[in-house]
Structure formats: C-alpha cells, structure tokens
Structure 1
Amino acid sequence: MHYAKPYRAIDQQIGLIESRGMTVPDWDKAAEYLRRIGYYRLSAYWHPFRKRLTDAGGKHTIIDDFKPDADFKSVVDLYAFDKGLRLILLDGLERIEISLRTEVALAIGKHDPFGHRRPDLLDGRFVRPERPRQICHADWLESLDQKAVRSKEEFAVHFRTKYPDSQMPIWIAVELLDFGPLSMLLEGMKFKDQEGICSSYKIPRPHLLTTWIRSLAGVRNVCAHHARLWNKPLTNQPSLARSGELPDLDHLRTSPGSNGRLYAAACIVRYMLREISPRSKWHERLAAHMSTFPARPVISLEAAGFSDGWSSLSLWSGNT
C-alpha cells in the first residue's frame, strides 16, 4: 500500500483525536506534549483506549475511535509512567550486562586471550549455524572487528595506537559488545564454560541462562530506543525453570504465557541482581514505581503480568 495520510499541524492533530472521542480539556498543554513527544510516539499509549469491534465470527478489530472516558491526561500519565519504568529497568540491566561481560571474559580468557576468535573453543552450532539466517561466528567476529576499528572510546583508540598489529584480547573486546552481541557470544560458548557462568548466578543450567539473557537483551533494546515497555510482549521469551528448580520463580509457571510478559523479565533481573548486587534496593524502587501506575478502567498492570500481590512474593521481599 502507498502511504497516503496527510501532514497535520499540532492543532489539527488535537482536533483529530477529539473528533475520535478523546477528551482534551487543555489544548495548550496537549499542544506542548505533542510538540515535545510527537503524535506517533504518544499514539502507542492511547492504543489501549481505542475501541474494539467484534464481528459475528469473534474476530476483533481495533478502530480509530476511542472508548468512553478516554482523555489526553491519562495518555500522558501512562507515557510518563513508562518512561520511569524504562529508566529503572535500564539500571538493573546495566548491572547485569557489565557483570556478564566480566564473566564471559574470564570464562573464555582462561583458555586463550583470543579465544573468542578461535572456532575450536566455541560451540559448533555457533561456528556452523544449523539455520540459514542464524548468526554465525564469522559474521559476529566481523561486526566486532568493525567496532574495534571505528570505536572512538578512549580505550579503543589507545589500543589501536599502542598495538596497531594486534587484535583485542577478550577482556578488552567485551567492552565493545552491547547486550545483543554479548548474548550471541554467550550462546556460542562451550557448554562447560556456560556452566561456569551459571554457577556465578546460581542458575541451574545453561539453557536458562542463555534464554534469559537473550530476553533481557530484547528488553534493553526497547528501553534504549525509548519505546513503549509496560505492556509490550517480550520478543524473546525466556525459558521457565522446572517446578521446584528455582522456588522463588515457581509462581511464573502458574499463569499461561507469563514468560511472554514484562513481569517475567523483571523477575529475571531481580533474581540475577541478588547475586550481582546483593545490597541493591532495585526491587524496592521497582515496586515503589509500579505503585504509581495510572490505573484506568481500560488499562492495568496485569497486562504486563504484574498480578495483585506480586511485590509480597518471596522473590521480591528482603535483600536475600
């Protein structure tokens, strides 16, 4: 289809959403938010307020008109809440990312300072992908080398200047890796090396670790791009521990599809931070922020997997 929607000035944007049933009591404030945040970005937050029609066959269709009592302030409040939520998640994810860089560097570096470049020290499925579009070691390494050449970080410039004929050892190279490429390297490591990292976080098996980190990488990507987070389905769903394997996470198994919602990712962050930063108050800050959710008849925390009483569960109580 050819995109044919016309350009609309700010006052026309407000008129449009009013014509669709949203209450905009203060045009000046609405204009300020639309100019500062943008119509398209805010539209992600008024999506739950749009009407849904159901045909005779049970098929649902979201239309442009809004449900009764939809108001612009609720949309802005939800946007502000989500912004704060992203910042809290980013703080926890940063701690995990930095810790994981160190764990990966230690696990690979003990074999060879340049072990990340050696196919014989990595899992065969990473070296020779089984699926046509699966990331492979050669592509991953090419991307890393491009970053090493182009990076303007002080440590990278210093290394290129002092060692112009050398590649970076793993303990320096990991500092160039964002969460996504780092998760790919983790998945591409030998099983025994993954097991060693699991033990640092008290995670019983590598499959849990790799799917957890892949999922968290997706959450970080959403946060880094300032996109809607609070009720967005997880792109990469983390695997759930077996019943009794990690008792504090057993409650995730009681709700079908719970590993596809943000709450599951928050649980993983909390679980890993207990080992990484045992004195951290991250869980308390998250609970305090979630209590400020701008609840309305059409939106709730349950859409993101946060059920009633979640913060009183054993995972979230205390610092242990």
Structure 2
Amino acid sequence: MKVELENPSKPWKSLDDQLALLKQRGMLTDNQEAAKSYLERLGYYRLSGYWYPFRVLDPVQAPGSKTPRRLDCFMAGSHFADVVQLYVFDKKLRLLALDALERIEMAVRVDIAHKLGRNDPYAHENPKCLHGHFSKQVKKSGLAKGKTEHQLWLEKYRSHLWRSRREPFVEHYLNNYGRLPIWVAVEVWDFGMMSKLYAGMKIADRDSIALKYGAPSGDTFASWLRSLNFIRNVSAHHSRLWNINVLERASIPTDAAYWQYMNNARPFYYFCLMQLMLKVICPNTRWYKRLAAVIAEFPESPSRAVRIEDFGVVEGWQSWNLWAQK
C-alpha cells in the first residue's frame, strides 16, 4: 500500500529552475551565467545560508516565537553577487581559523604529551595519571552506562589508531613495542580527543598548561579548547562561520576590560582567543594582520541586511593590546 506523506519532499529543480525561483522571489542576478556557475559548484542549499539574511522579515511574529520569521521573498536591492561576496568572506575566515587552530592543536598536544609523559610514557592509557572524575567515575545511564569518560576516550583512540595502522610510524611502534608512547600517540588524535583528554588531566597538570596561555585555571582553558574545537569543526566541514551561534561557549577572561565588551556566542570572540594563544606559540606571527585585512573586506550591503557586528566585532577592537606585537 502506498503511503501518502503529509509533507512530501520538495521537487528536484534544474539550475535554470533554481535561478528562476530566486529571481521570482526578488533576487537580482546581474550575470546569469556566473550565478548558475556558483549554484552548480556550491549548491543551492549551501548558498541559502548566505542569502538568508537578505530575506524579508515577517512583520507578523508567530505566537510564542522569540525571533521573527523570514519570508521567502528578498529585500529590495538584494544581488546574487552580494551573496557570493559574503560566501567568499566566510571562506577566508574559515581558512584563517584553520591556520590558527592547526598551530594551537600542535602546541597543546606537545604540552599534554610532555606533561603526562614525564610520569608515564603511556599516561594516556593509565587511569592513575588522570583525574578521578575522568578515569574512575562511571556513567549511570545512557548508552555509555557503566563506562568512564576515560574508557570512552580510549575506545575512540583505538578507533583512530586502527585507521592509522598503515602509517609507517604507527606500524613501527605497534610492531616493535605493541603500543604508542604518548608523544607519538598525539599524532593520531584529533582536536576533540586532545580537548577531552586535557579536561581529564589532574588539576595541577591542567593548571600548569593553562597558565602558559594566559588562562586563569585549567577549567577555563578546557572551556576554551572545547569552543575552539567547535570552531574547528565548523571550519573543517565548510559550514557557515561568520555569524554562527557558537554552542560551546568559552569562559570569558578577566585580565583585560575588552573581553567584557564581547559576546562569547559570536565567532569574533574566538578569533580573539586564537590570537591570545598564537602570541604565546608564534610571537612573531602576522596572522592578526591577515585577520584585520579580511575584516576590512566585509561586504556590507546598502540595505544593512548583513553587518560586521553579526560576526561579533566590537568598535575600537584594533586598539586593544591583544593585537600589539611584543
């Protein structure tokens, strides 16, 4: 028997149909062939996240809704080229984030390996080298019931190790020693695994690493790493970053007043955290200059449908000592 769905799937549309629909809704396309090319290469759905702010706000707010609904039609003067420029701006931000986060990940990995490896070359596998909440406290419900956070971490680690088993360095250590010491094991971790193990370290070990990067405590630094892992995942999966609502929000430093002016739900706050850490890792880096150049290129539309403030930028940010070279 054929089941009729209440909300059947939307029908497939050709590139010409997609473009016609956008024009019907008020999108101006100055160059149709270029617009079709972008739809073909990037996809209607991906680009829809960038033209969303250009859609007209519904003047009638739905009962119980905290945010206004967007209508299908576009604001007057909305150009497809503006959408593409916003996408390009976002792509540059993602590449900047990945550049910074690669350096941060490498440095913090070494910090963890050096700190834990001093006590035991296989500290990442030894519950005694880690905090009791991480290595001894078992979950009382859910799919992981009866397991500790460390056991769950080890399952993921072994999965990564299996996928990397043909790497020459992994093969060498497994064949000759049976397992990897922590300073080698870090090479098969991802950012999330690093962040999770850091949070599971003993308090004194966490605090000593946190202090190096200007965080007041290991708990604060653990929150930074969780948030930066969120930014990394968004960037690595080519998702929209520039105005995303950051779900994993980091603790706010208190060492300078300007931190209090920022919104830790906005991405700019996390670019500031990256800069704070890069000043420790790479004191002579010019990464912040590239960030400033990209921000200066923000394609603000005449309609103010998109604004650099949606990224989280605060007026006067370039005067903060965060950006000053030593």
Fold in common (TM above 0.5)? yes
**Counterpart of 1:204 in structure 2: which amino acid?**
P
Q: For 1:253, what is the secondary structure of its paired residue?
A: helix
1:195 maps to which residue?
207
| Aligned counterpart, 1:177 | 189
1:124 shift after superposition = 1.9
Aligned to 2:131: 123
The answer on whether the counterparts of 1:195 and 1:206 sit within 8 Å (CA) in structure 2 is yes
The partner residue of 1:289 within 285, 294, 315 is 294
1:62 to 2:70 alignment: yes
Provide the residue aligned with 2:3 in structure 1.
none
- Listed one character per residue, the Cα deviations across residues 288-310 of structure 1 (whole Å, up to 9, x for unaligned) are 11100111111111001112221
Matched residue type, 1:114: Y
Alignment of structure 1 residues 139-218 onto 2, 5 Å: 139-151=152-164, 152-163=166-177, 166-218=178-230
Query: Matched residue of 1:259: which SS?
Result: coil
Conservation of the 8 A alpha-carbon contact between 2:224 and 2:250: yes
Match of 2:52 among 47, 54, 60: 47
Paired position in structure 2 for 1:307:
314
Q: What do the CA deviations read for 1:258-289 (whole angstroms, capped 9, x no partner)?
A: 01111110110000111110010111110011
Q: Greater CA deviation, 283-292 or 304-313?
A: 304-313
Whole-Å Cα distance in 1 between the matches of residues 26 and 104 of structure 2? Answer: 44
Question: Counterparts of 2:114 and 2:167 in 1: how far apart (Å)?
Answer: 22
8 Å CA contact retained: 2:261, 2:314: no
CA contact (8 A) 1:231 1:304 kept: yes
1:54 and 1:123, CA in 2 relative to 1: closer, same or farther beyond 3 A?
farther
Does the CA contact (< 8 Å) of 1:23 and 1:71 recur in 2? yes
- Pairs aligned (count): 310
TM-score, structure 1 normalization: 0.92
Look up the match of 1:251: 258
How far apart, in 1, do the equivalents of 2:238 and 2:312 lie? 20
**Is 1:113 paired with 2:127?**
no
Alignment match of 1:73 (pick from 71, 78, 81): 81
Q: Which runs of 5+ in 1 are unaligned?
A: none
Which region of structure 1 is more displaced relative to structure 2, 27-36 or 306-315?
306-315
CA distance in 2, matches of 1:4, 1:204: 51
Q: CA deviation at 1:54?
A: 3.6
On the 8 A contact 1:301/1:307 being kept in 2, the answer is: no
Question: What is the distance in 1 between the residues matched to 2:194 and 2:141?
Answer: 21
Instruction: After superposition, give the CA deviation of every residue in 1:231-256 in whole Å (9 maximum; x if it has no partner).
Output: 111120000123xxx22xx222135x
Per-residue deviation, 1:3: 4.8
Instruction: Provide the rounded CA distance (Å) in 1 between the counterparts of 2:274 and 2:132.
Output: 29
% identical equivalent positions: 38
TM-score by length of 2: 0.90
Aligned position for 1:97: 105
RMSD: 1.8
